Amino acid sequence: MPASYSRRTVLRGIGTAVALPLLDVMSPTRLLSAASPSSGPPLRMGFFYVPNGMHMPDWTPSKEGFKFDLPPTLAKLADHQDEINVLSGLTLDGARAHGDGGGDHARSVAAFLTGAHPRKTNGADIQNGISVDQMTAKYVGDSTRFSSLELGLEASAQAGNCDSGYSCAYASNMSWRGPTNPMSKEIDPGALFDRLFAGQVVKETKQAKSVREKYRKSILDFVLEDANRLHKTLPAIDQRKLDEYLYSVRDVEKRIGGVERLRMTEDGVPDYPRPSGVPKELSKHCELMMDMVTLAYQTDSTRILSFMFTNAGSNRSYPEIGVSEGHHETSHHGKSEHKQANIAKINRFHIERFAYLLDRMKQTPEGNGSLLDNCMLVYGSGISDGDRHNHDNLPILLAGAAGGKIKTGRHIQYGKDTPLCNLYVWMMQQMGAKTDQFGDSNGSLGQLS
């Protein structure tokens, strides 16, 4: 066995292959090939969208700079305060009406990653802009198996009238490959698991898939021999990383498989197809998807992804936290104390799920730090106050240090109507894109480095 391995090294087994996390022996300084110009772990970007705005009094810190007091919604991120920046004052002008009347929810998500003002239509003549994730994928997407991943908890739609004459394509997709090409989301953890781990390098054979489905064997069972062989050749620190990674994969696979009860034949063999993997409880569904996000980044399967907690204008209720009213209905609080309290509960529910992701990534060692250290993750909404439907002073949070390029742990206040797209220009530049303009940007966002 060689003393060092490529980032493309995989574990192989009967008709399938499983990607590996970034190990120390894959460090560019130890690789024999000089194919990669990187001097450390790869940089990743991600975008996490929540609908219907925010209860801003519980979101906005009272002080700027370091050591700011965490308001009630952000208190769920107390363990990560030194790894985030709260960015106030950013604006999404493309989500404003500009003479088109109602439809702020659809516009807010359609413009969130594009900076464009979508054409108001519920027909086939949709028109938006390319999104920042897809634009960046043009520069770095060929470095990974998936140029990008589009994920969420509610399915995408490509037609229909979803918001005051705006197509459902706008309301349920935030990633756009081009002005007329929304990218549908994957919402099934089981299907996503299969995309990440089943038949990665060589196509999984029908025989192997049949055996695995018949006896409910783990994908890892098929690569165990190769994993044990590799384990013996690694230094102690990489042996530990490999063990932790394989445990995580097995754990996620078990949780997906346990979503639906097995239907057994008389001889004890399952007789049902691959389970859908979508738990009924939103919290469990979301946490499984966040585990997938971690694994996708950890294996360098992709460096770019987007995630919609729910679609724009979602009126989902949240019985898990005692909110029986719909989210959209509650966001139109009309200064009702009861509704404002409920919208704040929903906001905290979402941020807690994001905190779960940050926990997982922080606990995943990579290079001289953690997986989170090598990411820049945007969390927020294209609407500020759901009752006012305003698109200025948005609730935007940036997590991760981008490989040391971001000075974290601050609340940064930007000037009035600073374009959100200025942030995207800065992020694209860190990813290696040679650009100084995106959407309605008027520069690259300052104060981050």
How would you classify residue 89: left for phi > 0, otherwise alpha for psi between -120 and 50, otherwise beta?
Answer: left
The tokens of 88 are what? 């106030």
pTM of structure? 0.83
**Distance from C-alpha of 118 to C-alpha of 165, rounded to nearest angstrom:** 12
- Give the pairing type, strands 10-13 and 410-419: unpaired
Q: Is residue 50 included in any domain, yes or no?
A: yes
Confidence (pLDDT) at 206 = 53
Confidence (pLDDT) at 202 = 42
Confidence (pLDDT) at 205 = 52
**Distance from C-alpha of 375 to C-alpha of 403, rounded to nearest angstrom:** 7
DSSP H or E segment with residue 426:
helix 420-430
* Cα three-residue angle 191-362-432, rounded to 5 degrees: 75
Q: Is residue 267 included in any domain, yes or no?
A: no
Gyration radius of the chain's alpha carbons: 22
Distance, first Cα to last Cα, the chain: 41
Confidence (pLDDT) at 350 = 98
* Cα three-residue angle 32-38-41, rounded to 5 degrees: 100
Confidence (pLDDT) at 263 = 38
CATH code of the domain containing 130: 3.40.720
Q: Is residue 349 included in any domain, yes or no?
A: yes
* 370 and 362 Cβ atoms separated by less than 8 Å: yes
DSSP H or E segment with residue 16:
strand 16-19
Confidence (pLDDT) at 1 = 40
Q: Is residue 218 included in any domain, yes or no?
A: no
Q: Is residue 18 included in any domain, yes or no?
A: no
The tokens of 233 are what? 């050749």
Q: Is residue 150 included in any domain, yes or no?
A: yes
Q: Is residue 296 included in any domain, yes or no?
A: yes
**Distance from C-alpha of 177 to C-alpha of 128, rounded to nearest angstrom:** 10
* 3-state SS assignment for residue 433: coil
Which domain range does residue 169 map to?
A: 44-187+278-430
**Distance from C-alpha of 394 to C-alpha of 76, rounded to nearest angstrom:** 19
DSSP H or E segment with residue 369:
strand 369-370
* 145 and 136 Cβ atoms separated by less than 8 Å: no
Question: DSSP code of 218?
Answer: -
86 Cβ contact list (under 8 Å, min separation 6) = 60, 61, 68, 74, 396, 397, 410, 411, 412
* 147 and 114 Cβ atoms separated by less than 8 Å: no
**What is the total count of domains within the chain?**
1
Q: For 172-183, give one letter per residue: b (16+ CB within 10 A) or e.
A: bbbbbbeeeebb
**Distance from C-alpha of 83 to C-alpha of 68, rounded to nearest angstrom:** 13
CA-closest candidate to residue 412, choices 360, 449, 365: 449
**Distance from C-alpha of 142 to C-alpha of 152, rounded to nearest angstrom:** 23
Per-residue pLDDT of the chain (449 residues; tens, 9 = 90+): 444 566 656 666 655 567 777 777 776 544 333 334 446 899 999 999 999 999 999 999 999 999 999 999 999 999 999 999 999 999 999 999 999 999 999 999 999 999 999 999 999 999 999 999 999 999 998 888 899 999 999 999 988 999 999 999 999 999 999 999 999 999 998 888 888 876 444 444 555 555 445 444 566 666 677 777 777 888 877 787 777 777 677 777 777 765 443 333 444 333 333 335 588 899 999 999 999 999 999 989 899 999 999 999 999 999 999 999 999 999 999 999 999 999 999 999 999 999 999 999 999 999 889 999 999 999 999 999 999 999 999 999 999 999 999 999 999 999 999 999 999 999 999 999 999 999 999 999 999 99
Transcribe 296-362 into DSSP letters: HHHTTS-SEEEEESS-TT----BGGGTB-S-HHHHH--TT-HHHHHHHHHHHHHHHHHHHHHHHHHH
Q: Is residue 231 included in any domain, yes or no?
A: no
Provide φ and ψ at 163, rounded to 5°: -160, 95
* 318 and 346 Cβ atoms separated by less than 8 Å: yes
